[in-house]
Structure 1
Amino acid sequence: AILLQGQTGSGKTAVYLNWLESILKQEQAQVLILVPEINLTPQLERRIHAYFPDRRMAVLHSGVSEKQRGLAWYEAMTGKAQIILGTRLAVLTPIPNLRAIVVDEEHDTSYKQQEGTRYSARDLAIWRAHDQHIPILLSSATPSLETWMAAQAGRYEYIRLDQRAQGASLPSVHLINTRDPQSQFSPGDSGAPIQRSLITKTLSHAISKTLDQKKQCLILINRRGYAPVLNCTACNWLSKCTQCSACTVMHKAGALGRRPVLSCHHCGLVKPIPSFCPDCGNIDLKALGHGTQKMEDAIEEMWPQARVLRVDTDSSRKSKGAEALFQEIHDGNVDVVVGTQMIAKGNDYQNIGLVAVLDADSRLYSADFRAAERLFAQLVQVAGRAGRSGTNGEKGGEIYIETQYPESPVFQFLLRHDVDGFLRFTASEREEARLPPYSYQALIHAEAKSLDKAIQFLNELKDKLKARTSITKALRVYDPVPKPVMRVAGSERAQLLIESTNRKALQETLEIVDQELRQDSQGRISNRSRVRWLIERDPIAI
């Protein structure tokens, strides 16, 4: 395996396409290229067609029709297609003359299938390359800690690209401390919005300056909808979902229907916004927090002459799709882009002068021990959208991050563009806490009509493991706990964490668990308690 680690805009795609060109010269050779998301396939598809005009390509992802997907699968299986491009499902395609695999943005969590049969397409691709004795290239500006450590240990070949392809400098990073009164608007300030501003004065001035230079601005807020929750000011009622243990999100008119609605992002429930509080009758309901739709309105109010485009799941569902929205940005028909993480990945924008990240702290402090690693990767990726068209010595754009904790290691390493330093720091933290990759984890998921049933089912399983003396010093089985989002679509969910410093010991225990559960189950539903269960190895979220 080969790790290709390079700065954003350093030409990693050109490097691996050039490498694949030499492989495709072999007779009947086929290659597989994996990308993490459907939105990234059209741009890469065009680039591959331009690079290999005489090669046949099959595109496999859930965004194409079943007929197209079936034809692409047939062409890959019969060897007619030399290049197979797709998302995680493409890794399962039978390819008789496979000679090389590329996993682009290998750090991306989208490679992990989180529903049904759970698998990691990246790990499966590595195993497939090993099994077939063919090379595999893992490409990323911010490799996952596991991959980076494998390269540092010499298990993977290591190739680095430390400069941008055309010689432009990396973007300048600015941290805006939102606790500092100087960064906020004061009454009477010129340019201050009528309502309370959703962005700081410092960022507002930077956006104005960038727009004056005829450059585009990219604003990342990782929360779609208008506001995350609707609240009653009299009795503190919250717009909770009736089917899930989560709040419904307010969406303005035109996003999911002709009227404003409340929508649950977990189960898909959509209902009209109440005209008064269901608990106390108060008509003064307030939208708390802000999402992409509210930010879009705020930008249009502050810069009425600017052309604003919102890019999120809702807007891409309404139009011809994400590709049409991205084309608007490439064509220069947009001044300010407001969007979720969809805008942060892989796209080669040529005129972005400023990138702003709002509410970064919501992803910094989380129960997930990988939260900091994921935030750092996302910040590096979105920062890399700025200044990509610059040439030798030109300024590489600017990134502004609003945070209450500028002293956090994530932001301090980002200031220096020190990916290796951050990964070394994270590795030492994980080693001290004996967390992956210094240990191995598995989750047993249980889902039932009541939480008590799910917890009882997992407790009985833990007792059986104790009776079999499977629990040793090398292996720990924790108590079952409710999931972070405990109820989804009416089902209540719990999980049991099994952790070991020895991979073999963990796998042997999971085999025992699987046999034990299957004895009293039809499929993956327990006969006695009617609990649905699932074993997940190497979970990406706990």
Structure 2
Amino acid sequence: AARVVIGTRSAVFTPLPRLGLVVVDEEHDASLKQQDGFRYHARDLAVMRAHRAGVPALLGSATPTLEALQRVREGAWQRLALPARAGGAVKPRMALVDLRADPGEEGLSRTLLEAMRRHLDAGNQVLLFLNRRGWAPVLLCEGCGHIATCHRCDARLTWHARQRLLRCHHCGHEERPPERCPQCGSPDLSGIGQGTQRIEEALERHFPGLAVERIDRDSTTRRGALEAALERARSGVARILVGTQMLAKGHDFPGVTLVGMLDADQGLFSADVRAAERMAQLIVQVAGRAGRGERPGEVLIQTRQPDHPLLQALVREGYEAVAERLLEERRQAGLPPFGHLALLRAESTDEQAAANWLESLVRALPPMEGVDVWGPVPAPMARRAGRWRYHLLLRADRRRPLHAQLDRLEALIRGQKETRKVRWSLDVDPVDLY
């Protein structure tokens, strides 16, 4: 029998007769939460399974979740710090680039381009990160301002110039771009903003003769494509790497000495309660690709909000300082890890069916002391893949009353005739509110 079992989140259910240790790597990774069907968090199940077996659970992360940090604060978990980088590597220098003063062109500031030339001339590699696929996130009519949108989702279509396709990254819908604006008839249609494809083309113009490797979902669809791309990156054949968060997943590129974050502002202004936490985690994880070998690393973070307190804290004091600020914000708001959430999602092809169903549940649900019920409200993306989506959020300081109210709510759901007209799910401890 196997003595060591390695697997993805479902490995937490593997039957083992003599369990001795449970390790959860990258404890902060949102993919540990199953987002459909039976919703569970593999980290939490791993901790509970270890507890029941009377064995240690070891959670690893350079950027622990706020929940994990608070458990350490409370004394429930023990912290084992690894302050030094592997192999004695020096932490990279981190700096902000103000895009208001140095906008550059095609998403590349002059400061970043100059740093790239310096590192490339020294024989090193450069990694650029942009969590946005395609050529441009918007196809805009210069005449009337019309923006191409998905007819099945409340989302803009992304322009993929090389395939000459407009693609929805939420439902997968594809269509050819119109010759003229469907609203005003103007032929002046332009791709606005930057995606990884556009950055790749700009880099090929700025650095002719140097191999540029783009690593994202679009470039790695063929079998073996990702492994081949990563091998070209590790071997140094590719001098410039550009990609999405696929590049931030723990890869070791010893030749990379400069990392450029092309747009750090995406997580600063979001309705998602965990957006700022994830932004800080992502920046630190991507920055960790720089200077992993013997040569020192440098990280440049492009932003239009260089004075934002979270970015300032991250650059000057590190992830721990950002986490402390976010924990205080969560404490004041009564949000996790200082409160508990449950999200009832409902969707239907009928625009009103999901909202009406949730409203009927709220009317029938007796109030319970200590449990707040918010909604129903449209989901942040109210329509996705042709279905209208609404949310009902429950919050409580303590778990016991929340789960008692959820028991009542589920009984109401099972007894409602209208339930068969909607698709619903109940998510306890949701990791996002989308």
Structure 2 residue aligned with 1:223, among 128, 132, 136?
132
Matched, 1:305 2:209: yes
- In structure 2, the partner of 1:45 is none
The answer as to 2:12 corresponding to 1:91 is: yes
- After TM superposition, the score normalised by the length of structure 2 is 0.96
1:324 is paired with a residue whose SS is helix
**Equivalent residue, structure 1, for 2:37:** 116
RMSD: 1.5
Within 5 Å, which residues of 2 pair with 1:189-208?
196-208=105-117
**CA deviation map 1:491-535 (0-9, x unaligned):** 1000001000111100111111111111236xxx813xx012111
For residue 55 of structure 2, what is the aligned residue in structure 1? Answer: 134
State the partner residue of 2:347.
447
Structure 1 position 463, deviation (Å): 1.0
Deviation string, structure 1 residues 55-102 (Cα, Å, up to 9, x no partner):
xxxxxxxxxxxxxxxxxxxxxxxxx22222221122222233322111
Match of 1:476 in 2: 372
Counterpart AA for 2:112:
L
Match of 1:504 among 387, 400, 404: 400
Counterpart Cα distance in 1 of 2:273 and 2:345: 19
**Residue correspondence of structure 1 range 352-363 to structure 2 within 5 A:** 352-363=256-267
Counting only pairs closer than 5 Å after superposition, residues 238-277 of structure 1 correspond to structure 2 as: 238-253=147-162, 259-277=163-181
8 Å Cα contact 1:451/1:494 also seen in 2:
no
d(CA) in 1 for partners of 2:53 and 2:113?
54
- Please say if 1:396 is aligned against 2:296: yes
Q: Secondary structure at the match of 1:161?
A: coil
CA contact (8 A) 1:352 1:387 kept: yes
Structure 2 contact 213–242 (Cα < 8 Å) conserved: yes
- State percent identity of aligned pairs: 41
Which stretch shows the higher mean deviation, 442-451 or 499-508? 442-451
Instruction: After TM superposition, list the pairs within 5 Å mapping 1:141-156 onto structure 2.
Output: 141-156=62-77
Cα deviation, residue 106, structure 1: 0.2
Name the amino acid aligned to 2:349: K
| Residue 276 of structure 2: aligned partner | 372
User: What secondary structure, in the 3-state scheme, does the structure 2 residue paired with 1:314 have?
Assistant: coil
Q: Find the aligned partners of 1:91 and 1:167 in 2 and give their Cα distance.
A: 33
Please name the residue that 2:432 is paired with.
Answer: 541
Answer yes or no: is 1:325 the counterpart of 2:265: no
Instruction: Provide the C-alpha distance between the structure 1 equivalents of 2:70 and 2:375, rounded to a whole number of angstroms.
Output: 31
* Equivalent-residue separation in structure 2 for 1:479 and 1:459 (angstroms): 8
Paired with 2:328 and 2:338, the residues of 1 have a C-alpha distance of: 10
- Amino acid across the alignment from 2:419: S
**Distance in 2, Cα, partners of 1:174 & 1:411:** 10
1:184 touches 1:202 (CA, 8 Å); kept in 2?
no
Q: Please tell me whether residue 428 in structure 1 is matched to residue 328 in structure 2.
A: yes
Structure 1 CA distance for aligned equivalents of residues 194 and 4 of structure 2: 43
Q: TM-score, normalised by structure 1?
A: 0.77
Name the aligned partner's letter for residue 224 of structure 2: K
Correspondence for 1:416: 316
SS in 1 for 2:20: strand
Tell me, in whole angstroms, the C-alpha distance in 2 between the residues paired with 1:140 and 1:120. 16
Which of residues 97, 103, 112 in structure 1 aligns to 2:24?
A: 103
Distance in 1, matches of 2:317 and 2:296, equals 13
Supply the distance in 1 between the matched residues of 2:378 and 2:254 (Cα, whole angstroms).
Answer: 46
- Aligned residue type for 1:484: P
Greater Cα offset, 299-308 or 411-420: 411-420
Name the SS for the 1:279 alignment partner: coil
The answer for the alignment partner of 1:494 in structure 2 is 390
Partner of 2:337 in structure 1? 437
The residue aligned with 1:68 is none
Name the CA distance, whole Å, in 2 between partners of 1:324 and 1:118.
Answer: 34
Match of 1:235 in 2: 144
1:137-176 alignment runs, 5 A limit: 137-176=58-97
Mean Cα deviation higher: 504-513 or 280-289: 280-289
Aligned counterparts of 1:266 and 1:275: Cα–Cα separation in 2 = 24
CA distance in 2, matches of 1:459, 1:293: 44
Kept in 2, the 8 Å contact 1:451–1:482? The answer is no
Aligned pairs, number: 433
Contact 2:395–2:402 (Cα < 8 Å) also in 1: yes
CA deviation after TM superposition for structure 1 residue 319, in Å: 5.4
Query: Over residues 306-335 of structure 1, what are the superposed CA-to-partner deviations in whole Å (9 max), with x where a residue is unaligned?
Result: 110000011111351322211111111111
Deviations 1:92-131 (A, max 9, x none): 2223332211111101111111122211111111111112
For 1:359-411, what per-residue CA distance to the aligned partner results, in whole angstroms no more than 9, with x for missing partners?
11122211112111111111111111111112xxxx63000001111122322
Q: Given the superposition, is the C-alpha separation of residues 441 and 184 from structure 1 closer, same or farther in structure 2, using an over 3 Å criterion?
A: closer
| Cα distance between partner residues in 2 of 1:533 and 1:487 | 15
Supply the distance in 1 between the matched residues of 2:189 and 2:416 (Cα, whole angstroms): 50
Residues 314 and 321, structure 2, Cα contact 8 Å, conserved in 1? no
2:72·2:79 contact (CA, 8 Å) conserved in 1? yes
Q: What are the ranges of 5 or more consecutive residues in structure 2 without an aligned counterpart?
A: none
The DSSP-based 3-state class of the residue aligned with 2:219 is: helix
CA distance in 1, matches of 2:54, 2:160: 51
Question: CA–CA distance in 1 between the matches of 2:166 and 2:324?
Answer: 43
Distance 1:275 1:96, change over 3 A: farther
| Matches of 1:507 and 1:108, distance apart in 2 | 26
One-letter identity of the residue aligned with 1:248: L
Contact 1:348–1:388 under 8 Å retained in 2: yes
**Distance in 1 between residues matched to 2:79 and 2:170, nearest whole Å:** 40
List gaps (5 residues or longer) in structure 1. Answer: 1-79, 186-195, 254-258
1:463 and 2:363 correspond = yes
Query: Secondary structure of the equivalent of 2:362?
Result: helix
- SS of match in other structure, 1:451: coil
Letter matched to residue 429 of structure 1: E
Q: Residue 464 and residue 225 in structure 1: after superposition, are their counterparts in 2 closer, same or farther (change >3 A)?
A: same
